[in-house]
Amino acid sequence: MYFNAKEKEQEFYSNPLKMLSQRALDRRSTQNIALDFKDVPISENFISILKKVSGIQIMATSKWMNAIHIRGSQNAVNSLKNYDFVSKIEFAANTLNPTNIVSKASIPKNKRLKKEKSVFANKETADLQIKMLNGQVLHQHHYTGSGKIIAVLDAGFLGVDKAVPFKQLRDNNQILGAYNFVNRNDAVYTQDSHGTNVLSTMAAYTENSLIGTAIDASYYLFVTEDVSVENPVEESLWVEAAEKADSLGVDIINSSLGYTEFDNPAYNHTYEQRNGSTAFISKAAEIAFSRGMLVVVSAGNEGTTKDPYIVTPADAPSVIAVGAVDENKNRVNFSSVGPTFDGRIKPDIMALGQNTVVSDENGNSVYLSGSSFSAPLISGMLACLWQAYPEKTNQEIKKILLESSTNYSTPDNQYGYGIPDFKLALANKANSGDENLQYFVAYPNPASDAVSVHFPADFNKGKMFFYNVLGQKVLERKILDLETNFSVAPLSNGLYFYKIESDFFSRYGKIIKN
């Protein structure tokens, strides 16, 4: 049920710390994001009035949507339209709404990974999931997520308070807070270990075993998934958690949850509704991005079903939806595909999702599969990348991510923009204005017949290599002068990566040939 107003708007604008933490305000300021109506809290007076209505139960609230999630009979719910502060009412059952898309009944399935086995994993495979992304390069430059905050929205975090892989996280007070939105309490280390598995890919630290992608980041742990049911209220709880993450100043939201089908098929999201602007959770994910956060979600595990398309909120335009590949970088057949109903490319990128190494609730490193684990691998690496680019906006970080991916010039609905190369992403610092890296940048970009590169006065000699998107070397040129022109006329149109190399260093970049 949506409200048509909020109370005390100006008071909150004049005292923004009543709405958001200082860190959240700083994030807004850095990215030039103004406060607006969505930031103002929902009216407690309206809620108090509705709590007194017989037969109505308030399940969740959303200030971004200026709405509440309620339960009650159809008659009781419709009676609320008599209140002058009520704007509109939407039923979870599509057939009850004035304009509707009828869901097709199907067998409900769990949107989380079903862990059928726990096979002990080895360090070589654990290293692979980072090296596939060239994430070790960021780590070697001491970008390990320090100063960044990730909110993990999931089903439960069994063992995180005790297991050895999370000891460093606990000892360094990197868990900044935790809340169970399902049970309305602080009990998050209960019920389920899916969140444990997800968190471990980012935060676990076990010498010679499993090391996460962002071991020095800080984390909020939020339970939004009710493991006992499949109900639309879980979407609303997710939205509450995302709003809380925003208010706390979180940088990245990771969510390995997705919604298409519910216990009651009347509530299902049809493919037609996966357009980025219909599902409640997808609309909220888009708002979360507009607040300056990155939102990283699993694409889904529905690739082999009769409905193989990405789940919500992966359909939201600004969300980074991550699909699953195997150790050979081939898409795993269960990984959900695109496009969205309105024709946009999805998933956005890919990461290891078959036999990913995670920690179980007992601290064992085991293999599990699902796009549930592809997403947090990327979230952790993005925390490291953003640490390297503290001045960048979330939009700029996402752009760098996509441009560094293997399929950037020819994205499709199986692989999206491909597998990110964070070594290449880090090389973008050459364009960041850093005085030590202002040279070695090929221009113009895009180029047609030739590119030029400036070199510092103390540069001696070296070579420049051009590679296609498959990593194959297609051109090699010697560097002879401090300003050198390189002909790229022999190259076909498309995206190329280049490396400038001497005896003492190497620099990376990318260029588009028109």
Q: For residue 314, which of 258, 270, 231, 243 has the smallest C-alpha distance?
A: 258
pLDDT of 449 reads 82
Q: For residue 23, which of 247, 175, 222, 179 has the smallest C-alpha distance?
A: 247
CA 404 – CA 174 distance, rounded (Å)? 29
39: which DSSP letter? G
> What residues pair up with 220 in beta bridges, in sequence order?
151, 177
CA 145 – CA 214 distance, rounded (Å)? 5
Q: For residue 117, which of 358, 301, 303, 300 has the smallest C-alpha distance?
A: 358
pLDDT of 109 reads 42
Q: Where in the sequence of the chain do the CATH 3.40.50.200 domains occur?
A: 119-426
Q: For residue 90, which of 224, 291, 235, 258 has the smallest C-alpha distance?
A: 235
SS3 398: helix
Q: Cα dist. 131→126, 213, 351 in Å?
A: 9, 10, 11
Tokens 């809290």 belong to 41
DSSP-assigned letters across all residues of 248-288: HT-SEEEE---BS--SSGGG---GGGTTTTSSHHHHHHHHH
Determine which helix (DSSP H) or strand (DSSP E) holds 88, and give its type and residue range: strand 86-88
Catalytic residue among 200, 247, 282, 372: 372
pLDDT of 161 reads 97
Q: For the domain made up of 119-426, give the CATH fold.
A: Rossmann fold (3.40.50)
pLDDT of 439 reads 60
139: which DSSP letter? H
Specify the amino acid at residue 47. Answer: I
Extract the tokens encoding 127.
């290293």
CA 140 – CA 143 distance, rounded (Å)? 7
Catalytic residue among 69, 139, 194, 269: 194
CA 325 – CA 328 distance, rounded (Å)? 8
42: which DSSP letter? P
pLDDT of 53 reads 92
- Assess if CATH 2.60.40.3080 describes domain 439-513: yes
pLDDT of 276 reads 95
Q: Cα dist. 127→110, 131, 377, 445, 493 in Å?
A: 30, 6, 12, 35, 35
| Catalytic-residue membership of 372 | yes
Q: Cα dist. 292→29, 32, 34, 167, 283 in Å?
A: 10, 9, 10, 30, 15
Q: For residue 241, which of 229, 230, 254 has the smallest C-alpha distance?
A: 254
185: which DSSP letter? B
Q: CA torsion angle for 162, 166, 168, 174 (degrees, to 10)?
A: -100
Extract the tokens encoding 157.
């975090």
DSSP-assigned letters across all residues of 478-490: EE-SSEEEEE-TT
In our burial notation (b when 16+ CB lie closer than 10 A, e otherwise), range 273-301 reads bbbbebbbbbbbbbbbbbbbbbbbbbbbb
Task: Work out whether the CA dihedral 15, 20, 21, 23 comes out positive or negative.
Answer: negative
CA 218 – CA 249 distance, rounded (Å)? 11
- Please list the pLDDT of the chain residue by residue as tens digits (514 residues): 999 999 999 999 999 999 999 999 999 999 999 999 999 999 999 999 999 999 999 999 999 999 999 999 989 999 999 999 999 999 988 778 765 433 333 333 444 444 444 566 666 778 899 999 999 999 988 899 999 999 999 999 999 999 999 999 999 999 999 999 999 999 999 989 999 999 999 999 988 789 999 999 999 999 999 999 999 999 999 999 999 999 999 999 999 999 998 888 889 999 999 999 999 999 999 999 999 999 999 999 999 999 999 999 999 999 999 999 999 999 999 999 999 999 999 999 999 999 999 999 999 999 999 999 999 999 999 999 999 999 899 999 999 999 999 999 899 999 999 999 998 898 765 444 443 444 677 777 778 888 877 776 666 678 888 888 777 889 888 887 666 778 888 888 888 888 887 765 667 778 888 8
Q: Where in the sequence of the chain do the CATH 2.60.40.3080 domains occur?
A: 439-513
pLDDT of 347 reads 98
| Catalytic-residue membership of 141 | no
pLDDT of 307 reads 94
Specify the amino acid at residue 414. Answer: Q
Q: Could you tell me how many residues make up the chain?
A: 514
Q: For residue 302, which of 338, 251, 328, 326 has the smallest C-alpha distance?
A: 338
CA 95 – CA 97 distance, rounded (Å)? 6
Catalytic residue among 39, 154, 251, 307: 154
